[in-house]
Structure 1
């Protein structure tokens, strides 16, 4: 049974100048990690996951745009307006994860980004580190870049710092000798296609049971197509992005048609607010029993 409450966070001091999120609604009985007091105050309550779990995090405009196109690097920051609260939630979700899963397109579109909790919210870095110690996580979540073709910018600072690159046999051949020494190559598919179930199975053998994906829309489409997403966190930013007839500005999912024949229904399990921003958390209902054979990643 869900509970509908409005609360005022108590205990701890929010990191830096971060104002606490206001809890609007939370389903009862959710798992709880026991966040450090400062993080619990800033988030407006506790947070946790039933493991293993694959959870996604996106920010979208009111009209449903999550990416502005390849000509606009780091477009997520433009959509969010670099709102401190959104960056805090992004950092918190990263701090909970064993691994952060992204597609090669996301890597290319954010040329200077680092997929660590402190990169997006440095003022909370000590509290994120405390949380990871309490969860017995590694110092930082492992970045996992998915590319069927092996087409990745090997000079990207996130790869220079070290990442797991999941690819096919074809992609591994293309990347042979090109990846930075700090990277590990994971071959999880044959030929030119890559199934996300194989990637996640490989991550589980590495001990990664809490996997966060930050996209992009094609990657989450492949994950949903195989019935592999458990939860979606969505920040609704109070901005209208707009589209023209000849621009590609995808929504949350690209490359996968669900309605009307394969609807992926969700349940709202948490809602928070900061100013005109909404921070929503959804749980996917029973995943589809059979993966879509057309959902294999082929780029």
Structure 2
């Protein structure tokens, strides 16, 4: 097993219910609380960015967060922890098209602690795997993605009637469900959350990407917390290269800047793991 070092806590004013991790996660993660949200489910997001704010290199074979974090072990561990706590993991279809996903489960991001993640979900009385939710207005997906055919992780597509027609042309196992939220046009984040709750009741939903999807939830003011890994890399940009920042598709400042409150800061060597709370 790869050697993982404990997170070093530099700052922590979180106020939610404490999580009791099984070993060895308890010694690696340290103190950790669930979001102190007045809403159910609580909605959190997890992203990694370079020092200059790039969240994807937007190049074939280098679309995912691994290239941004440098395939950092602690970042993978945090992703596993958040997935193990989540009832549903939400992702935009663009990421599904770009990456050869086998599933948005804790053991997929950090297989070294698969048994501990399974114990944690059992303690929390959650299903073995979180519901994997993919957002696609037009039904434009890669129908051969492994996550859609392995048959062990439940999958839900949230789409429009147009997208539903396109998706139903493919053959998927019984673990894949499709829900049309409207006839056409952009999908509303509040309707997304309601639809996910119908398929998977729970207390915590996790958004993992991409930048446009995070933008939609921030615009709708329905995000409770953002977990942001700051990787010590400068990726750079060129005009027109399409490398996205953390949020894409909307201007908040200067008219309506959206401010977060730092509630936790952890460190592992030169990587920083920030946690911000937002008002819903």
Q: Which runs of 5 or more structure 1 residues have no equivalent in the other structure? A: 1-14, 288-299
Alignment of 1:249-268 (within 5 A): 249-268=243-262
| 1:99 equivalent in structure 2 | 88
Query: TM-score, with normalisation over the residues of structure 2?
Result: 0.92
Runs of 4+ in 1 over 6 A off after TM superposition: none
**Distance across 1 between alignment mates of 2:115 and 2:242:** 39
Aligned pair count reads 272
Aligned residues of 1:63 and 1:240 also touching (Cα < 8 A): yes
Q: Distance in 2 between matches of 1:77 and 1:112?
A: 13
Q: CA-atom RMSD, angstroms? A: 1.6
Task: Provide the residue aligned with 1:172 in structure 2.
Answer: 164
Match of 2:42 in 1: 53
Distance 1:193 1:65 in 2: 25
1:3 alignment counterpart: none
Q: What does the per-residue CA deviation read over 1:148-175, in whole Å, with 9 as the maximum and x for residues that have no partner?
A: 0110111101111341111011111111
Pick one of 229, 239, 242 that aligns with 1:245: 239
Q: Shift of the alpha carbon at 1:109?
A: 1.5
2:28 is the counterpart of 1:42: yes
Rounded to whole Å, the distance in 2 between the matches of 1:145 and 1:20 is 32
Does structure 2 conserve the Cα–Cα contact (< 8 Å) formed by 1:170 and 1:192? Answer: no
Question: 1:272 pairs with 251, 254, 266, which one?
Answer: 266
TM-score of the aligned structures, taking structure 1 as reference length: 0.87
Superposed, which structure 2 residues align to 1:110-129 within 5 Å?
110-129=99-118
Q: Give 1:177 deviation, angstroms.
A: 3.1
**The 10-residue stretch of structure 1 (50-59 or 136-145) with the greater mean CA deviation from structure 2:** 50-59
Within-5 A mapping of 1:226-237:
226-237=220-231
- Contact 1:35–1:47 (CA<8 Å) still a contact in 2? no
C-alpha distance in 2, partners of 1:28/1:123? 27
Find the partner of 2:181 among 184, 188, 199.
188
